[in-house]
Structure 1
Amino acid sequence: MPVNYSTPAASQLHPVAGVRLGVAEAGIRKKDRRDLTLIALDEGARAAGVFTKNRFCAAPVTLCRQHLAAGSDIRALVINTGIANAGTGAPGMAAAEATCHGVAETLGIAPRQVLPFSTGVILELLPAERVLAGLAACQADLKADGWHAAAHAIMTTDTVAKAASRRVQIGGQRVTITGISKGAGMIRPNMATMLGFVATDAGIAPALLNSLVKEAADHSFNAITVDGDTSTNDSFILIATGKSGVEVSDAGDARWPALKAAVIEVARELAQAIVRDGEGATKFITIAVEGGRTIEECRQVAYAIGHSPLVKTAFFASDPNLGRIQAAVGYAGIEDLDVAGSRIWLASNGEEALVSEHGGRAAGYTEETGSRIMQAAEITVRVHLGRGEAQATVWTCDLSYDYVKINADYRS
């Protein structure tokens, strides 16, 4: 079960004017499950995205990059689960291209205006004929309030669908932001192994939209980790339809800070939901590193802690073997770190304990305190490096027996 997270009700996911979503059972890998999603965008919508840095990126990722490079006037997204269409060479690219042509023909748009996404098993070719056969049902199902169904249809090993929605006042006008994401395992920033789609009815100029999708990713999907694995299909797309009447053309617009903050808030909620639903997760862990010289070195330390299987298994067992955290800080790669100047705290349920200072165990720390704090479902590790003013936060989870079971049986 996810850690303190449940899927919002359909009524809590506000429609975004200019966006319609439809789902279907296409039998892509398993029968009797919704595994194909079509998102149709009204003319005038703009889109921007960031994608995995894995060199074995999937065919749909390559096509998305090409289509976005050709223009932001995207009119449709198509998402399949079950098969990632990654590591499939020329046949995989042909299948992704056929999918785009099928969507274009269905909706009467150009193939370059279609963004394809796949998630599931790597090294298996996407059965394009099944996708194409399912498009008519997706089109018939298109509706503005289809976010809840789409959140379920893009799941793989997720135990719950992930969605978030906000309505905010921007310059006296109401703006809607709604998004969905999927991901539970093979999670590692750059992007994290996930799919994320966020739409707003605000109008955002293409240059600003490209900047915002990257900034939003850095504060959300690029600040989570479950197991340190970077997938081949990771994608985060931000859509601005302009239907609200709010149009922001430059960063100097007084409405921009509030709009940007609202988009980042939705993206962060979706990203944290992925960690809360991490495969086999029982605890949600915030790693806050401060006192660094740069944000980059703070993140470097946070990820060293968040990726350590020894740290993560200790949290699963509520075992205050916290020298493992100290060791992770030490091997994070800051060669001139003064360990005597660093400090480590552990906190939960309003209680915070200083664990390490002056290079060793804090005088007032006891194992009983550490064990009590670690038994909570939500825990914070705070590290002060004692060398500057920079800070960064990463969210992760523990590593349990079930993580091994889920991934050992993934293809069965």
Structure 2
Amino acid sequence: MHVIEGAINSPKGFTAAGKHVGVKKKRKDLSIVLSENPAAVAAMFTTNKVKAAPVVWNMDVYEKGKPIRAIVVNSGNANACTGKKGMDDTVLMAETTAESFGIKREEVIVASTGVIGVPLPIDIIRDGIKELSKDLDEELISGLNAAEGIMTTDTTIKNIAVEIEIGGKAVIVAGMAKGSGMIHPNMATMLSFVTTDADISQELLRKALKQIGKDTYNMISVDGDTSTNDMVVVMANGMAGNEKITEENKDYRTLYKALYHINEHLAKEIVKDGEGASKFIEVKITGAKTTEDARKMVKSVLTSNLVKTAMFGEDANWGRVLCAMGYSQADFDPEKASLEFEASGQKILLLKEGLPVAFDEDYAYELLQNRDIKIHATLEDGEAQATGWGCDLSYDYVKINGEYRT
């Protein structure tokens, strides 16, 4: 597997485009991805009980188990908490996209992201879909435009493509995502779309994403909020020409690793672009009794405002980490816990088998001045482990979200 210069439209048979149509005052706000062939689909959707209209539409499409052909996304308006009009507008987005490409509306995934509780400017969006449908192609810039068109408070495009070999055939897996705030384990205010020209059964594709999602998107946090619009969608159109993957063999494992790499990369990029973030934090728990215990502790540390503010203040306040592990409801023995911080290849031991370790505060402060920080807790309760990613909590986060609608 190697990373290539590519975008969401790099796999064979995919085209894409993105442009500004007027939902937002400026910046691109509409994107479309199209597959030449019907594509197997795997997806994950928000666990929030309050679900935006596009999520409701997509869940219904997904449960029917049919292949899909297109994804249409608007940014700048979430189309959430908008009642019957919101659902009608979602259907109109699907229908307009379908009519533009001569496909069925049930073959269209719809996504919206932005402000909650504001009706879509559906006429602007429908006209935009009709115009944008003429611009789709395989060019890199078009794929990057699509990645830009799904952004809201994001400061960077989140995009990646890799190439692998399956059965002697070159296979490409590519992805794009958006997300910066309202990021929390069990999905986030994030949209993530992945395409591949690999030929794989829909059953196995869905199985792969279910597991990958647990270890990537469900292990990130910026601010503890789970959005109304979250989704991850993977499309596999089979146009690479490999022998169809129908069992968990070597080919499946090769594709799984590529899918994992794409989704882990996008998940990390979302956290790195966290609203107001100045630190990228990796939390790893090893030696836990069970994987679930490890995950609980990782998530608890990542979502602790006291840990996050300590990282922002570059304060090696390890007690906050251990405290967060303790209230996670995970089963572990704190008297056998060890804890260290790491950055730029340098480590500092803070706790050893439940007891504080005298350390150089100046050295710790210098270490925490790095942007990328690793927090590693070693337990003696078992063999399980988990890793997650988050960021600090800064003054800018409050400012950005205090002024979000203005």
Partner of 2:306: 310
Supply the distance in 2 between the matched residues of 1:26 and 1:302 (Cα, whole angstroms): 41
Secondary structure, aligned partner of 1:22: strand
User: Do residues 254 (structure 1) and 250 (structure 2) align?
Assistant: yes
Q: Which moved more, 1:217-226 or 1:267-276?
A: 217-226
What letter corresponds to residue 351 of structure 2 in structure 1? S
CA positional deviation for 1:90: 1.6
Mapped to 2, the partners of 1:405 and 1:72 lie a distance apart of: 44
Which of 31, 34, 51 does residue 45 from structure 2 map onto? 51
Shift of 1:300: 0.7
Q: CA deviation at 1:249?
A: 3.0
Alignment of 1:72-91 (within 5 A): 72-91=66-85
Match of 1:109 in 2: 103
Q: Which moved more, 1:240-249 or 1:266-275?
A: 240-249
Match of 2:160 in 1: 164
Contact 1:18 1:45 in 2 (8 A): no
Please say if 1:359 is aligned against 2:354.
yes
For 1:13-57, what per-residue CA distance to the aligned partner results, in whole angstroms no more than 9, with x for missing partners? 3711111112232212x2333111111111232212111000001
Tell me the distance in 2 between the aligned counterparts of 1:377 and 1:333.
Answer: 30
Q: Pick from 341, 350, 357 the counterpart of residue 346 of structure 1.
A: 341
In structure 2, what is the equivalent of residue 3 of structure 1?
none
Alignment partners' CA distance in 2, 1:148 and 1:25: 13
| 1:402 equivalent in alignment to 2:401 | no
SS of the aligned residue for 1:165 comes to strand
2: CA distance, partners of 1:68 / 1:41:
17
CA–CA distance in structure 2, aligned partners of residues 204 and 152 of structure 1: 29
Deviations 1:98-122 (A, max 9, x none): 1111111111111111110000011
Q: Deviations over 1:188-241 (max 9, x none)?
A: 121122000011111110101111221222222111111111001000001111
Q: Residues of 1 paired with 2:98 and 2:173: CA distance?
A: 26
Query: Is 1:25 equivalent to 2:46 in the alignment?
Result: no
Segments of 5+ residues of structure 1 without an aligned counterpart are 1-7
SS at 2:161's partner residue?
Answer: strand
Is 1:276 equivalent to 2:236 in the alignment? no
**Equivalent residues in 2 for 1:176-195 (5 A)?**
176-195=172-191
Partner SS state of residue 248, structure 1 = coil
Point out where structure 2 has 5 or more consecutive residues left out of the alignment: none
- After superposition, the Cα gap between the structure-2 partners of 1:247 and 1:228, relative to the gap in structure 1 and judged at 3 Å, is farther
Say if 2:171 is the partner of 1:175.
yes
SS, match of residue 215 in structure 1: helix
Alignment of 1:123-272 (within 5 A): 123-145=117-139, 146-272=142-268
Runs of 4+ in 1 over 3 A off after TM superposition: 11-14
Corresponding residue SS for 1:345: strand
**What letter is aligned with 1:54?**
N
Taking structure 2 as the reference length, what is the TM-score of the superposition?
A: 0.95
Cα contact 1:248–1:255 (8 A) shared by 2? no
Query: What is the Cα deviation at residue 12 of structure 1?
Result: 4.0
* TM-score normalised by structure 1 residue count: 0.94
Q: Using the alignment, how far apart are the partners of 2:307 and 2:360 within structure 1? A: 18
Task: Please give the per-residue CA displacement for 1:359-403, whole angstroms capped at 9, x wherever unaligned.
Answer: 3312x4232232122111111100123211110000011111111
1: CA distance, partners of 2:240 / 2:333 = 52
